[in-house]
Amino acid sequence: MGRASDRRRVTRVRAGVATAVRPDTVVGEEPLEIRVGGRSLAVTMRTPGDDMDLALGFLLGEGLIATGADVAAMRYCVSRQDVSRPAGLGLTAAGRNGNGSGDGAVDEDGRPTYNVLDVTLAPGVPAPDVDAARTFYTSSSCGLCGKASIDAVRVRGRYEVADDPLRVAPDVVTGLPPALRAAQRLFDTTGGLHAAGLAGADGVPWVVREDVGRHNAVDKVVGAAARAGRIPLTGQILVVSGRASFELVQKALLAGVPMLAAVSAPSTLAVDLAEEAGMTLAGFVRGDTMNLYSGAHRIACR
């Protein structure tokens, strides 16, 4: 499988002087093609690892499924039939004659890349409209790339969060970023990843994922929740290491998350969407401070 990190030679420069040439650890970035029923749906640049969570979260974030139960199986398309994957949700590896052609699933030496993942939907779940207008490419910097317009991502949500009873003390929210940072093992060696996590009212993250793309990190935690049967995420807080974009608010809403806490700033559309949905949106959560852009009633301030 593609590595989450690798070593590269770097020249260290200090005060204009090249002081050393040494190896450095760099975060991995590889494409992942997500197929549904053997048909290509999307390609995203991601850090390899937790790919099945990523695919589940992506499908949820696009409004294509409502829970993990809407997916019957997932499998990597590889060139060898002797590679198995962990059980659960029918998650296996398929050979060239399996579910998916295997195109692009091997490197130049014929070794599996695990960069093509095929999803089989459960009976009765409608297949996505995979056509020229629907298929798109997402980069690690922007999950909206290839969308025709902002209207195309205003997916109708299945879960209402406005009446979610979640209410927490301010220190629960401000404690989330350091707790998230403490769980970022790969960031410690590369310094090049975003992170997302989910926590309940106690403020203790029960799942954390890292990725070179902030939207991928969110998809991975939502996908992990879906595999655990925890969708909708009632009473949960989504914490992210970067800014709060429209897309991240939308992903949270489609998973039924009532509160999003971001280390950095939100965008105008993110605030508008959070207000419309009744979500609590906290930005600039740093130290003992935060800005509440919507849903301030869920924070029990003195």
* Non-local CB neighbours of 226 within 8 Å, separated by 6+ positions: 53, 56, 57, 60, 65, 67, 68, 71, 255
- Token readout for 43 is 């390609």
* Non-local CB neighbours of 70 within 8 Å, separated by 6+ positions: 59, 121, 122, 125
Where would I find the beta strands (DSSP E) of 49-184?
71-77, 92-94, 116-121, 136-138
- Token readout for 246 is 């429209």
Which residues are catalytically annotated? Answer: 142
What backbone phi and psi angles, to 5 degrees, belong to 175? -80, -10
Amino acid residing at 13: V
| Cβ contact 80:67 at 8 Å | no
Q: Quick one: how far is CA 24 from the chain centroid? A: 26
Would the CA dihedral through 299, 220, 141, 248 be positive or negative? negative
Measured between alpha carbons, how far apart are the two ends of the chain, in Å?
Answer: 51
